[in-house]
Structure formats: C-alpha cells, structure tokens
Amino acid sequence: MTTQQVLVGLDGSPQSEAAAMWAAQEAHRFGAALRLLHVWPWLSGAEAERQARPDDLRPAALDALARVADRIRTAHPDLTVETAVRGDDPVDGLVAEAQGQRMLVLGSRGLGGFAGLLVGSVSLAVAARASVPTVLVREAQPLPRTDTAPVREVVVGLDSCEPDEAVLEFAFTQAERRGARLRAVHGWEPAPAWAFGSMMPPPMDLPDQEGTETALLSEHLAPLRAGHPGVEVVEDVRIGGAANAVLDASAGAELVVIGRRERRHRIGMLLGPVAHAVLHHSTAPVAVVPHP
C-alpha cells in the first residue's frame, strides 16, 4: 500500500461529507489511506481570553470526524481511515496538509442565490494554491451519461498547443482505474481576420483548421495512449471556446480533469478563466491538477 494519503477537508457541511464518501471510494480504488481533516482559525491575544480556548473545539471536531469515519469504515471495512484537526486559517491549513499527498478532496458549495455558481471561496482558494491534484465534489452527483447503455467517462480538457503531461497522466490513470472511457476535449476559436479596421468573418478554411487542431491533439495523446493501452480514448475537438467545450462534454461524466499552472506568488488570480468557469459551473466532480 502506498504511503500517500487521500486527504479530505471536512467542515460539517453536507457537501464536505459527500466529498468524504467520494474520497473513500478513491482511496479504496488506489489502495491509499484516507485522512479526514478539520481546520479552524486560532484565536489569539485578548480575543482568546474572552472566548473559549481553541483547544476546547478539538473534542467536538474529533467527534464529528469520528462519526464520518465510522460511516466510511462500514462501507469500506478494509480502508485505513485517520482523523485529525488543525488550528490554522482554513486555506493555509489545507494547502499545508496536502503537500506530498495523493490528492486533496473538498466539498463544493453554492454561493447564495446564484444556482449556477457551485464552488465556495475556501474551495476555490485552495484549488488555486494546492501543490497536489485537488478535487471539488458536489453534494448531489449527476447521473452517468446514458445512450443505449451507461457509458462511464472521465473528461479532460486540454490546449492542443500547450498540453501538460502531468494533467494527461492523471486523467489517463483515473480512467484506467475506473474502467472508464477518456474523453479528451479541446475547444478552440477560429482566428478572426481583420480588414480596414474591422473584423471580418472567419475564413472559409475551417475544415482545414479543425483538421490541424485534431492532428495536434492526436499527436499529444499518442504517448499516453501507448502507456495506457487499455483506456478507450475519444478525441473531441469543438469550436466555441475551451470552457464551453469542457462543460458541454462533462454532462454525466464521473470526473472532469483540468490543469492549473503553478505560480510562486500569492498575488493576483491563480486560476485561469477556463478553470474558473469549469469549477463554478460543472455539476460533475472537478480535479484541478497543478503543473509547471
């Protein structure tokens, strides 16, 4: 059994408990231990003197974690489940605890009355900073894609010009372990033409452009297909932009995989527009995989 763990951030919400159950299946699938973690901010100075000491929260947090752990052990008797609490800023604590683990799993909650926005501020901030793949899971999971029979799919979104091997390897491994088909999605926009200071309609050679995009996608997927010969792959090239392409393809998917470029500073937006859109609007679990 690997020494890496699947780490889950729990805050007592239904979304985080759903994330814990999803993570338990993931840990069982990969032969990893599962670690349930609750993080809360420390009190300090005069404020700490006026309120209950932070240590007083530890027993209650451990009891809540123990209840979730018992449910998981009932469903997966052979799974090693650990519980822990940490006094820290939730984002800082989760990012620190995730280092060196197989993955971090968090619940994805909606924002107020905006039904289309499915990720909260803590989950979004952690996904932007964590050094390991971070999966955001909704409380209600979508039904699998169905035609004449259920088709299990993992969807990975990629740029045919700058694909990253770490993102593709994660997606292929997920599909392989799940016995699922991998749908590699590339959304692209035709380059506009300009004349006399105004934009003209795209040129009529769209089939040639699409053929070029498809060939690039196939070229980048070839080494991963060779390394995972048992994975069925669908190459899905769509006009209309990357975010829309991934979201359209993800309906009924078991998992959506997207990449995030690692940055060394904490100033500014750490997630690109495609990642933002997919995280906010996907109803399937979304894995954000950091890469150089």
- Residues 148 and 41 both lie in one domain: no
* Number of separate domains in the chain: 2
Return the C-alpha torsion angle 188, 177, 227, 150, nearest 10.
-50
Q: Please state, in angstroms and rounded to a whole number, the distance separating the CA atoms of residues 147 and 246.
A: 19
Q: Please state, in angstroms and rounded to a whole number, the distance separating the CA atoms of residues 199 and 189.
A: 14
**C-alpha torsion sign, points 90, 11, 122, 53:** negative
- Residues 156 and 287 both lie in one domain: yes
Quick check: 107 and 19 in contact, CB under 8 A? Answer: yes
Strands 198-200 and 193-195: antiparallel
Q: What is the pLDDT of residues 163-218, one digit of tens each?
A: 789 999 999 999 999 999 999 999 887 765 555 555 555 555 677 777 888 899 99
- Residues 149 and 288 both lie in one domain: yes
Residue 281 token pair:
């609007």
Of the listed ranges 38-42, 87-91, 108-112, 238-242, the least confidently predicted one is 108-112
- Residues 163 and 65 both lie in one domain: no
Q: Please state, in angstroms and rounded to a whole number, the distance separating the CA atoms of residues 87 and 149.
A: 48
Average pLDDT over residues 52-56: 53
- Residues 282 and 217 both lie in one domain: yes
Domain boundary among the residues 93, 115, 141 is at: 141
Average pLDDT over residues 82-104: 93
Per DSSP, 143 falls in state: P
Residue labelled with tokens 């033409």: 193
Strands 103-107 and 255-261: unpaired
- Residues 193 and 70 both lie in one domain: no
CATH code, domain with 228: 3.40.50.620
- Is the model's pLDDT at 46 over the cut of 60? no
Q: What is the pLDDT of residues 69-79, one digit of tens each?
A: 999 999 999 99
Residue type, 215: A
Average pLDDT over residues 244-271: 81
Q: What is the pLDDT of residues 3-38, one digit of tens each?
A: 689 999 998 888 889 999 999 999 999 999 999 999
Q: Is 157 exposed, middle or buried (0-12, 13-18, 19+ CB in 10 A)?
A: buried
- Residues 288 and 190 both lie in one domain: yes
Q: Is 39 exposed, middle or buried (0-12, 13-18, 19+ CB in 10 A)?
A: buried
> What is the percent of the chain where pLDDT is above 70?
77
Cβ partners under 8 Å of residue 34, min gap 6: 5, 6, 8, 20, 23, 24, 27, 72, 79, 80, 81, 82
pTM for this model (two decimals): 0.85
Q: What is the span of the domain harbouring residue 78?
A: 1-141
Three-state SS at 126: helix
CA atoms within a 13 Å half-sphere pointing along the CA-CB vector of 221? 27
pLDDT of the residue at 159: 79
- Residues 21 and 99 both lie in one domain: yes
- Residues 121 and 219 both lie in one domain: no
- Is the model's pLDDT at 287 over the cut of 90? yes
